[in-house]
Amino acid sequence: MIPSKSPPPSAHQTKQLSRAQRRRIVAQTRRAEQVIGRKFRNAMRRFFRVQAKRVTTAWMESGGYLSSFAEGEFKDPASQLVGVSEDTLAVAASRPYVLEMTVTALNAAGQLVGAAGITGTDPMVLYLTDQSAQRVVKINNATRRGVQRTITRGQAAGYSPYEIAYGSTATRKVGYRPLKGMVEELYRGRPECIARTELAYSNNGAALHRYKEVGMGTVEVSDGPGCALTHHVSGLKPGESSPEDINGRVISIKEANAWQVAHPNCRRVFLPMALSPSRRTK
C-alpha cells in the first residue's frame, strides 16, 4: 500500500516570519548563490576564453572565406563561426551549477515550509534546469553580432584574414578591434553577470514552486533599493530608493513567477508568508 502524501500545513499550523527570520533566509540564499556562483563564474570564464580561440582558429582555417550557403540555407559568417555547437557548449558549461543551485534552493525552501526533500532527478529540477538552458544559449547572440560587425568592417577596409583575426600595426592605428580582441572584450564581466542572473532564476523558480506546492498564494519580496517589479528604476544614485521599489511588498506567486528577476544581476529573493511548525523557533 502506497502511503499518502502528508497535507500541506494549514494557516493555523504556520507562523508568520519575524524580521530576523527574513534576514536569515536572505543571507542563507546569498551565501548559497555566492558559493555556487564562484564555480559557475569560473566555468563561464573558461568557456569564453576558449570560444575566442575557436572563433579565430575557424576563421583562419577558412582562409577568410565562409560561404553564405551552408547546410541548405543562408548563413552569415558569424552563424558559421558561432554555430549550434557553441550553444551546446554554453549549456554544458552552465548546467552543473544551475542544477546544484536548483536542488539546493528546492530543499532550502522545502525545509522552510515543511515540504519533503528532493533530488537532482526530480522532474521539477530537470524542468528548471532546462529553462535555464534556453536562457543561457542567448549569450551567443551577442557574440554572433560582434563577430559579424568585425568581419564586415574588416572586409570593407580591405584587411587580410589574419588582420581580421588578430590585427596588425595598421589596424591598431585606426582603432580596429580584431576577432580575438572583440570576443575577449565581450566576455569581460559577462561570466559574473551570467552566474548571478541564472542562479537568481534557479533559486527563485525553485522557491516559488515549493511555496505553491504547500498551498501558499502570496510571497514577500526582498530586493535592493531602486528595483521595481519589472525593472531597475533609472536615474537613481547608488543605494537610492524610489516609490516603485518592490522591496517588502507582498505579491501573488503568479506575479512573482512572471518576474523572478527584474534585470541582469538582480538580487531578488522571495520569502514565504509563514514557516512550518518545525521552523518556528529557528
pLDDT at 9 over 70: no
- pLDDT per residue as tens digits for the range 105-131: 999 999 998 888 888 888 889 999 999
pLDDT digits (tens, 9 = 90+) for 155-166: 899 999 999 999
Q: Could you tell me the residue ranges of all domains in the chain?
A: 14-279
28 pLDDT above the threshold of 80: yes
Does residue 75 register a pLDDT over 80?
no
Output the average pLDDT for the chain. Answer: 87
Phi and psi (nearest 5°) for 195? -60, -50
Choose among 138, 150, 140: nearest CA to 59.
150
- Cell (9 digits) for 35: 558559493
Tell me the range of 2-16, 64-78, 108-122, 154-168 where mean pLDDT is highest.
Answer: 154-168
Confidence band (pLDDT; 50, 70, 90) for 135? very high
The string of DSSP codes covering 227-274 is B-SSSBPTTPPTT---TT--TT-EEEHHHHHHTS-SSTT---EEEESE
Instruction: Determine the pLDDT at residue 14.
Output: 45
